[in-house]
Amino acid sequence: AQSVAQPEDQVNVAEGNPLTVKCTYSVSGNPYLFWYVQYPNRGLQFLLKYITGDNLVKGSYGFEAEFNKSQTSFHLKKPSALVSDSALYFCAVLPFSGNTGKLIFGQGTTLQVKP
Amino acid sequence: DAGVTQSPTHLIKTRGQHVTLRCSPISGHKSVSWYQQVLGQGPQFIFQYYEKEERGRGNFPDRFSARQFPNYSSELNVNALLLGDSALYLCASLLGTPNTGELFFGEGSRLTVL
């Protein structure tokens, strides 16, 4: 079965420290991978995506993600966290299943950045 | 530019009733997807429409239906509401063909079923 796992319900970091939010996936073929962020009572905002090419993808607000095919992971990273980064983060995968546009989301990881 | 707009933003229904949720995509976007986000979980794919045709359907019962209009706006209909249908319903629009995945989400319609 195709799935996405975010093993941490919550990640706590101090402002200014680097952050990592973990994501692993299980799909057949070469997937497209995404990160979205959700602020309280808001919809999801696109952060970045991996389609092909360089394994390190840079996205919005200083975030980046590293694709690792052998470990089937796509961890989200940021060198220096801000309090305003506190939000709910979702990893998602788009299986290459032919034009259904069906994104499979993980359960989400709450990022708490403390001053 | 206007983003994806959804209405209503909040609504309360009782079991057995019917609900219609509406979505207007970003101008120029021809694809609309619907997702259900139950509290504490990630969004679950319900439908995708592209050029007014259904292109994908998630694992939801037939009580859930949708359509896309000539102006690319969309409606999600849910019949015979159950308590478990309480959720945030997210609409997303997509520029391009369905398999590029860079969705632009609206802020959702929060449905409470009592």
Segment B25-72, tens digit of pLDDT? 999 888 999 999 999 899 999 999 988 899 889 999 999 999 999 999
**Interchain proximity A99–B45, CB inside 8 Å:** no
Residue with token string 């001053």: A115
Count of helix runs (H) and strand runs (E) in chain B: 0, 11
Residue B98 pLDDT more than 70? no
**Interchain proximity A100–B107, CB inside 8 Å:** no
Residue A101 pLDDT more than 80? no
**Interchain proximity B107–A32, CB inside 8 Å:** no
Contact B111, B86 (CB under 8 A): yes
Cα nearest neighbour of A94 on chain B: B101
Q: Which of B55, B58, B90 sits opposite A44 (nearest CB)?
A: B90
**Interchain proximity A100–B106, CB inside 8 Å:** no
Count CB pairs under 8 A between chains A and B. Answer: 77
Q: What is the pLDDT of residues A62-91, one digit of tens each?
A: 999 999 999 999 999 999 999 999 999 999
d(CA A69, CA A53): 12
A62: left (phi over 0), alpha (psi -120 to 50) or beta: left
Q: What mean pLDDT, rounded, does chain A reach?
A: 91
Q: Averaged over A24-28, what is the pLDDT?
A: 89
